[in-house]
Structure 1
Amino acid sequence: MEIEVLIIYDAQSEKECGENEVKSDCAGCELKNLGSWMWEDKNTLEKTPCRAICRLNECYCSPHAYRRNASMACVPISECREPRKKISVRCEKENEIYSFCKGCEGKCETGLKPCPHRCHGKGCFCPMAKGYVRDEEGNCIQLEDCEK
């Protein structure tokens, strides 16, 4: 079995670590405050899955007591926010549903047309996938209930 290790060296050899950080001779990933092992580029904030990468002369949160927060500061684990709890939102109009990623809506005039799977923001919407469309007054009704 052959193992490849990529070594990345930071030319700033006398780099100072921040509060609650430690310098590592070879580490690649940190545990973020939401509990997933990810490498997060401090310049771009781009997250990538953890790989066996050796990053020399990098500063990391002290692994047993601290996690990196959204501001890239190492904070005590006790200060990490709880994972999102499921929230329940009631929509005002009958048959509407709430979603963090709204889908397309059909209309009585146009029916159920194909729709690319894209997020249209969060909020209440009329679920076309369940056969609902908007009538002329903006109500969410079954397609077969539209006036012919």
Structure 2
Amino acid sequence: MVEQDSTFLLIIIALCLIFDYHAVLLPSAYNQTAISQENETRAESIEGTLIPSEVERFNMSSMDQDYIEDEMNYPPIRECSILEEFKECGTACEETCDDLRQLIICSQECVPGCFCKAGYTRETKGGCCIPTALCPLIKRSTVCGPNEEYRQCGTACPRTCNGIPEDCTQKCVDGCFCKEGFVLDLDKCIPESSCRVTEVCRENEVYRKCGSPCQEICGVQKETACTGCIEGCFCKLGYVTEEKAGICVKPEDCIPPKYVKCPGNETFTYCGSCEGSCQNQMVSCPTECGSPRCECLARNNYVRDKFGACIHISDCISK
């Protein structure tokens, strides 16, 4: 399989060289694309003056010849190759084999230049145009490590000894992945049977080989400057540690202190936030936690009135 991929890759490179070799070099003074063929008389317009044949050049005065030579001595520009076409207004982000099936954010800038014809794609940025169907062969030439294999459409969250990450995008990515029966351990693929037996975590917990030593706790401000890496069971994303019960709970389910008693239609929260009111019902709150306090039951559509009491949003009109 490797030899076959290498053969295809060599063919693609050879085609690129052939197509680029047949590209025509034109003086930059030309305003139109010209196709240069051997033994043919060139008759492209340079500011209204025709380029003469060799016989005509012989009969010209030295002054006329100097004018033509001066026009011909502009730095050459590369004309489009056989698999390209010139566009006055092309995209600023031409697609390559690496970009296929990827979401590309590109400006609306209009740029002139040579672009691959329909059915062809650039192998790499600045490379030559090849049939789009051959793009996977270039990608497949990637050399993978032991116990790995190339996949054109693999998961962005490969399986590890800890299982599959909970929060994973559905995006399809290409590259080297562990073969069936193997899992990723740091940067190597090892047999799944070689994974160390980890401790069994409780409900709403997940095992991590490298977790933060600063876990979020009910009623305690989260530490921002926290370094280090420890192994063990940690609360899942969106959960915090309830020290009294020794379990992981949603922040709104934290057990309030015994000395706190909230008024009607209110609940205690360790993660204080901004509240809606009759005057401003659709309030936008910051993501950071505020001070612990009693708040209106927002999930039950309660907001504060002008007297500071929590009432149902439907009662705001009468108030």
TM-score by length of 1: 0.42
Higher helix share: 2
- Report which of the two structures shows the higher radius of gyration computed on alpha carbons: 2
- Structure of greater relative contact order (alpha carbons < 8 Å, 6+ residues apart): 1
